[in-house]
Structure 1
Amino acid sequence: MFTVRSVVLDEVAVSRVLRRMAYEIAERAGPNVYLVGIQTGGAHLAARMAKILAHDADPHGKPRLGAVDITLYRDDLYLGQPKQELGRTDLPESVDGQTVVLVDDVLYTGRTVRAAMDVLLDYGRARAIHLAVMVDRGNRELPIQPDFVGVRVPTGPNESVRVMLQERGETDQVVLREKVG
């Protein structure tokens, strides 16, 4: 059980941060970037960034959009964890030779991103894979670093960060939560 300790980003700030990240991605990765969201929060964020870039599209290209489900690639799948609901990987175009930007809502240990890269590698050989996250919590357990960051929120062992999105029926915001009990 968690209690909200503070609001890190409100609705206006979430929109501003997503727009900035989308423009940074387009500038560094090119207009034809393949945005691939990690289900579910990352997929929603990738879709929003694709919409931003398509609206302000470079006439030479527009971003492509996909999503990956990491359920079967988790390194704790058989460690007695509660069974995860199987999601859907949707990569409408090949990743071969593409510049892919993996998108997630929160980066913490790096294990989710490692699993997402394994999914991508099973689908082909991307030219490059970059990482974009709305929130970087620090405290990595694997050598994974983001290329694009919305906000950095260092957290302690009893804290967590939640990205709340309208796609899930919530008001857009990022909150810092503290474990109770």
Structure 2
Amino acid sequence: MESEHPKTDAQNNLQTVPLMDADDIRRALTRVAHEIVERNRGVENLVLIGILTRGAPLAQRLSRLLQQIEGSSVPVGRLDIGLYRDDYGTNPKGLPAVAPSDIPVDLNEKRVVLVDDVLFTGRTVRAALSAILDLGRPACIQLAVLLDRGHRELPIRPDFVGKNVPTARHEHIAVHLSETDGEDRVLLQRQGV
């Protein structure tokens, strides 16, 4: 693993601290997959739905792990929540780019595990819940995240967490995945002092 010592980008005065490398991410997802199997007593009627962008590849990885553990495939969908965001139309960056969602099965009476990379305020999860409920009525919805950094603004908590990372509100967690960024690692970024 990389050095645990912070590195500072002098030009932007940005300090970066490595939190997880590829092996840490793999171990965290393996643990989450086992917890999903245990909580749901297997994978029957289970569907994984990854929130775009980085929740989708994490859901695919979890599906492969569940296949290895249980010997049964678990359908995986991907969900764009852009139109469900509570800041839709008021964001100074403009309207969000919308990507197509892909939900491969009927969600009625399924056990849905919503997957995302980082849980912060809970607003992304709230938007995802609204989007899922527009698609059907699952038996239950559970939440799996790679990292929980705290600072909730809504009464939302994850069922499965790869790693809890206490952060200051002004800090940023950067998740890099090989599918989207060419490498697996997680960094904590803060303005240097």
TM bracket (short chain): over 0.9
- The equivalent residue for 2:8 is none
Amino acid at match of 1:45: L
- The equivalent residue for 2:113 is 101
- The equivalent residue for 1:153 is 165
Distance 1:143 1:2, change over 3 A: farther
- The equivalent residue for 2:62 is 49
Per-residue CA deviations over 1:94-120 (Å, capped at 9, x if unaligned) read 110000000000000000000000010
User: Whose relative contact order is higher, 1 or 2, with alpha carbons under 8 Å and at least 6 apart?
Assistant: 1
- Asked whether the 8 Å contact 2:14–2:190 carries over to 1, the reply is yes
Decide which of 97, 108, 112 is 2:124's aligned counterpart.
112
CA RMSD of superposed structures (Å):
1.6
1:57, CA displacement in angstroms? 2.9
1:144 paired with 2:156, answer: yes
| Rg larger for | 2
CA distance in 2 between counterparts of 1:55 and 1:75 reads 38
In the comparison of the two structures, how many residue pairs are matched? 179
- The equivalent residue for 1:131 is 143
CA distance in 2 between counterparts of 1:146 and 1:157 reads 19
Partner SS state of residue 151, structure 1: strand
Amino acid at match of 2:30: R
* Long gaps (5+) in structure 1: none
Q: Give the TM-score, by structure 2 length.
A: 0.87
* Long gaps (5+) in structure 2: 1-11
Decide which of 70, 73, 76 is 1:65's aligned counterpart.
76
